[in-house]
């Protein structure tokens, strides 16, 4: 009598459905890039983290730079979706809009798949000017426009008094961006802070400066 082997064969991770591979590679790349930085990251490390071969990675991405850009673009999608349309359709008070801006910025930038990106790109921008230019054009420029929309909303409603909207938007965006950079750099060497309290004070500081 022939005995059948009913033990299921465990498929290697790289034999999963093809449409799952890019997402797994992007998630792995985000983790490795943030942990090691762009310079120290080898494609082989990302492939191993994703459970695929290096050759498979090149099926979906041209090179390491292309992969990093994809990681950043995927990360900022929810941020941009929050931005322009939300502000255009907002019906509340300008003060409420500032509150949403401050708190939503932190919540979105610290989500899985996003956390650590501002620190990574800030650190690598001078070493890799093309990446710096890419981040400035595709992320910072859009974020700057969102902050300006918030300020102009308050001006139109007679709540904010701002002499130079562009400059104030840069000041505010700088304070928002710095917190997310610091969270993945110097924060580990400093006493822990209460983020909710920090954001409350940040919001108060902004409103005192523009109302």
C-alpha–C-alpha distance, residues 123 and 119, integer Å: 6
Domain that holds residue 56: 9-61
Q: How many CB atoms lie within 10 A of CB 114?
A: 22
**Is 205 part of any domain?**
yes
Strands (E), the chain: none
Q: How confident is the model at residue 16 (pLDDT cuts 50, 70, 90)?
A: very low
**Is 3 part of any domain?**
no
Percent of the chain with pLDDT over 90: 72
pLDDT at residue 76, rounded to an integer: 82
Average pLDDT of the chain?
Answer: 88
**Is 164 part of any domain?**
yes
C-alpha–C-alpha distance, residues 200 and 7, integer Å: 57
Residue 32, classified by CB atoms within 10 Å of its CB into exposed (0-12), middle (13-18) or buried (19+), is: buried
On whether both 111 and 34 belong to a single domain, the answer is: no
On whether both 24 and 104 belong to a single domain, the answer is: no
What's the predicted TM-score (pTM) here? Answer: 0.82
On whether both 186 and 147 belong to a single domain, the answer is: yes
Number of compact structural domains in the chain: 2
Closest CA to 120 of 76, 61, 160: 76
**Is 195 part of any domain?**
yes
On whether both 14 and 42 belong to a single domain, the answer is: yes
**Is 17 part of any domain?**
yes
**For residue 58, what are the contacts with CB-CB under 8 A and spacing of at least 6?**
43
On whether both 19 and 123 belong to a single domain, the answer is: no
Q: How confident is the model at residue 18 (pLDDT cuts 50, 70, 90)?
A: low
């Amino acid at each position: 009598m022939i005995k059948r082997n009913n033990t299921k064969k465990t498929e290697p991770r790289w034999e999963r459905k093809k449409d799952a591979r890019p997402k797994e590679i992007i998630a792995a790349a985000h983790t490795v890039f943030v942990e090691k930085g762009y310079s120290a990251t080898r494609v082989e490390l990302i492939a191993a983290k994703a459970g695929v071969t290096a050759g498979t990675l090149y099926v979906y991405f041209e090179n390491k730079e292309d992969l990093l850009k994809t990681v950043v673009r995927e990360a900022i999608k929810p941020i941009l979706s929050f931005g322009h349309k939300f502000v255009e359709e907002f019906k509340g008070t300008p003060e409420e809009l500032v509150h949403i801006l401050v708190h939503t910025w932190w919540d979105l930038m610290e989500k899985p798949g996003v956390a650590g990106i501002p620190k990574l790109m800030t650190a690598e921008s001078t070493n890799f000017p093309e990446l710096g230019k890419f981040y400035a054009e595709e992320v910072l420029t859009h974020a700057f426009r969102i902050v300006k929309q918030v300020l102009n909303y308050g001006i139109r409603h007679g709540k904010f008094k701002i002499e130079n909207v562009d400059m104030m938007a840069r000041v505010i965006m700088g304070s928002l961006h710095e917190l997310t950079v610091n969270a993945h750099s110097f924060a580990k060497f400093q006493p822990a802070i209460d983020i909710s309290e920090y954001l409350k004070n940040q919001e108060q500081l902004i409103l005192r400066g523009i109302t």
